Homo-oligomer: A and B are copies of this chain.
Amino acid sequence: MRIAIDAMGGDNAPGLIVKGVLEAAHEWPDTELVLVGDTAVIEQLMGGNKPANISLCHADEVIGPDEEPVKAVRRKKGASMVVAGQLVREKRADAMLSAGNTGALMTTGLLVVGRLDGIERPALAPMLPTMDDVGMLALDLGANMDAKPEHLLQYAIMGSIYRSKVHGMDKPRIGLLNVGTEARKGNELTKAAYDLLEQAPIHFIGNVEARDVLSRSCDVLICDGFAGNIMLKAMEGTAGTLFGFIKDAFGESLLTKLAAAIMLPKLRKLKNKMDYKEYGSAPLLGLNGLVMKCHGSSDEVAVKSAIRQARIAIQGKLTESIAAEISGK
């Protein structure tokens, strides 16, 4: 199998991206890793230490984190992210990874890699934090703002397949984000989606509420991009504000500093639990090949972990399974 890596995207590119790929190359000698980017820079970073299963593919442009996605992907045909996408499109790679501009990666997926037949809207599926550290796959959290019930149905099918193929889950529980757990709750979108999900070849457990995400009330959370994004930011904002208040309170006096010394390791553990960066990279599902989004702040450990995930997905024939399930309807 062959995996293309955008060497130039992300806060720590290209240094830690290349480092992570080198480590992955040693761990999995059966996997061919293609580093896409400025070959002169990459070669210098590797210092003559190029394992046989690493190859380079030159790309002389980079898409910056603040560039307008569609414009950037259309204009910069020679950007590392776009070139990596072309390798997947031309079946010269089974998967690509990037820690670069999320919007541009979604656009690369859509315009360069291309959708699977029958998929209307590919979806980015990151993991939401849960207190048991297992995490909840969520789609969509902001890619498609105006989803139709059929889109939510496809998200559910793709999420279910991903969770069983890549995370080894037997019968992942699919939940629909809603304002109550009863069947007839919600807006027109969720009511119609509910009916579709009940008929789908998945383990649909019904509506779930935003307050139960952290206790992992389901394994795959289905929502439209608008509501999902509002939920994610409400959780982040609340956790961030509470941690900030507690931190200030710990600094108030000698006594509170003593309390801080006792409690800090536990609070750090809690903070890590709440940090969705700890839960790995996010697949872009519904494309004609695997595209993985690594966090912008990915280091070598995150890159290696993303490559591990991509290997499992390729071995499990993730894309083929999604294609079969979707075209089967």
Contact = CB atoms under 8 A, between A and B. Distances in A.
Interface of A: 131, 142, 145-146, 177, 179, 186-188, 190, 209-215, 224-227, 229-242, 245-246, 249-250, 252, 255-256, 258-260, 262-263, 266-267, 270, 273-274
Nearest to A240: B211
21 contacts: A131-B241, A145-B188, A179-B229, A210-B230, A210-B233, A210-B237, A211-B233, A227-B227, A227-B230, A231-B231, A234-B234, A234-B235, A235-B238, A245-B273, A246-B246, A250-B263, A256-B262, A256-B266, A258-B262, A259-B259, A263-B263
Nearest to A212: B237
Nearest to A213: B237
Nearest to A238: B238
Work out how many copies of this chain go into the complex.
Answer: 2
A226 B147 CA distance: 14
A25 B67 CA distance: 63
A268 to B, nearest CB: 11
Contacts of A260: 259
Nearest to A256: B262
Contacts of A258: 258-259, 262
A94 B230 CA distance: 38
Given A237-B213, A241-B215, A186 B231 contact: no
A237 B177 CA distance: 14
A239 B243 CA distance: 10
A237 B231 CA distance: 11
A177 B262 contact: no
A265 to B, nearest CB: 9
Given A145-B179, A213-B237, A238-B239, 15 more contacts: A179-B233, A187-B226, A209-B237, A211-B236, A211-B240, A212-B237, A215-B241, A230-B234, A231-B234, A232-B234, A234-B235, A239-B242, A246-B267, A249-B267, A256-B266
A208 to B, nearest CB: 10
Contacts of A250: 263
Nearest to A239: B238
Nearest to A252: B266
A88 to B, nearest CB: 28
Contacts of A186: 145, 226
Contacts of A249: 263, 266-267, 270
Nearest to A241: B214
Contacts of A245: 131, 270, 273
A179 B212 CA distance: 21
7 cross-chain pairs, A with B, having the tightest CB-CB distances, nearest first:
A211-B237, A234-B234, A259-B259, A210-B234, A145-B187, A259-B262, A238-B238
A237 B214 contact: yes
A197 B214 CA distance: 35
Nearest to A215: B241
A240 B213 CA distance: 12
Most interface-central of A213, A231, A250 (chain B CB within 10 A): A231
